[in-house]
Amino acid sequence: MSKSIKYSVVVPVYHSSESLFELANGVEEVFSHIDEEFELIFINDSWNNKPTVAALDQLDSRPYVRVITLMRNFGQPAAILCGFKYSKGDYVITMDDDLQHSPGDIPKLIEMQDHDLVIAAFDQKKHRWNRNLWSRIKSWFDYKFIRKPRHIYNSPFRLIKKEVIDAALRVRTSHPFIAALLYYATDDVVNVEVEHKSRKYGKSGYSFYSLLKHFSNLLFNNTSFALRLVSYLGVLIVSVSFLSMIYLVTRRIMIEQMPAGWTSIMVVLLFIGGVIMFSLGIIGEYLLRIITGVERKPAYLVRSVTKK
């Protein structure tokens, strides 16, 4: 009787090929020493990229490898969510496909598996300065709005208990933000310090637009911060307008002749008009996501699955 799978390693793949063999070999070597049943699930988020498809076709011949191909590029969070659904292990390990997360550090996560969620913390990230700055900004929002403990460092390299995975999958969303789903399910979270490797092949698939889109999933799907900001801004503008009215009325009483103030009037009108349009845009974004939720559009669509 074969042993049940204990660990599922989920790797979203986007326009990668060279690193995949090295990654698979590293994962296989780690679990050969641990002596536990495992599976390596590649989520192909770039079905029309020939080098990626060719590499995954070769890797699929290995008994522990499963390849799930999505219909189109849905983004890393959706790919990870897909991996959650198809995983069979008691624990799920998520990591990137670019070897900046070393398979050799997996045992460090496993040592802390008594906790619900174990996240790798990097002593020094090997990203460009602008990407690191963006990470710090997002970390502050994570702390403020999705219940991330202040002392916890977020990264995509983590080990998650199956119970937390099941709880996260019960949340229906077309715009998944993985960290928010995990922190919603549990607060038993710890960090394990590991080394962040330099990228060996290619370049990051995260553009500024994709980072902004990922951040918008946090901002609009997991917090009412934007609506509250507009509300506070509205109160501020009303207060300033009221004080300005008192000043203008007082000045009109005290001074009979007042110079024409077309410039100031136009500035005020344009400012208020801009605020109104900005507010409508924020509200429209929320309404769009509500409509998407009502339509129950899935976060991803699967083209094919190997080794069902």
Cα 209 vs. chain centroid, distance in angstroms?
13
pLDDT bin (cut points 50, 70, 90) of residue 189 is very high
Tens digit of each residue's pLDDT (9 = 90 or more) over 152-163:
888 899 999 999
Q: Using one digit for the tens of pLDDT, what is the confidence trace for 15-25?
A: 888 899 999 99
302-305: strand order across its sheet: 189-194, 117-122, 158-161, 91-94, 7-13, 38-44, 65-70, 302-305
Asked if the structure places residue 266 within a domain, the reply is yes
Q: Are residues 199 and 229 in the same domain?
A: no
Split at pLDDT 50, 70, 90, the class of 296 is confident
Q: Are residues 242 and 143 in the same domain?
A: no
Count how many domains the chain has: 2
Domain that holds residue 34: 7-207+297-305
Domain annotation covers residue 28? yes
The residue ranking higher by pLDDT, 163 or 134, is 163
Domain identity same for 31 and 135: yes
Assess if residue 213 is contained within a domain. no
Within this chain, do residues 199 and 230 fall inside the same structural domain, yes or no?
Answer: no
* pTM (2 d.p.): 0.75
* Distance from C-alpha of 33 to C-alpha of 49, rounded to nearest angstrom: 34
Calculate mean pLDDT across residues 2-20.
90
Regarding whether 281 and 166 lie in a shared domain, the answer is no
Q: Between β-strands 91-94 and 189-194, what pairing exists: parallel, antiparallel or unpaired?
A: unpaired
Q: Among 64-68, 177-181, 287-291, name the one with the lowest average pLDDT.
A: 287-291
Q: Is the confidence at residue 151, as pLDDT, over 70? A: yes
43-73: pLDDT as tens digits: 999 888 999 999 999 999 999 999 999 999 8
Confidence of residue 2 (pLDDT cuts 50, 70, 90): low
The pLDDT of residue 1: 37
Rounded distance between C-alpha atoms, residue 102 and residue 298, angstroms = 31
User: Is 190 in the same domain as 236?
Assistant: no
Query: Are 266 and 165 contained in the same domain?
Result: no
pLDDT at 208 over 70: no
Residue 215 lies in a domain: no
Least confident of 60-69, 89-98, 101-110, 150-159: 150-159
Q: Is residue 2 part of a domain?
A: no
Same domain membership, residue 240 and residue 187: no
SS3 233: helix
What is the average pLDDT value for the chain, to the nearest integer?
80
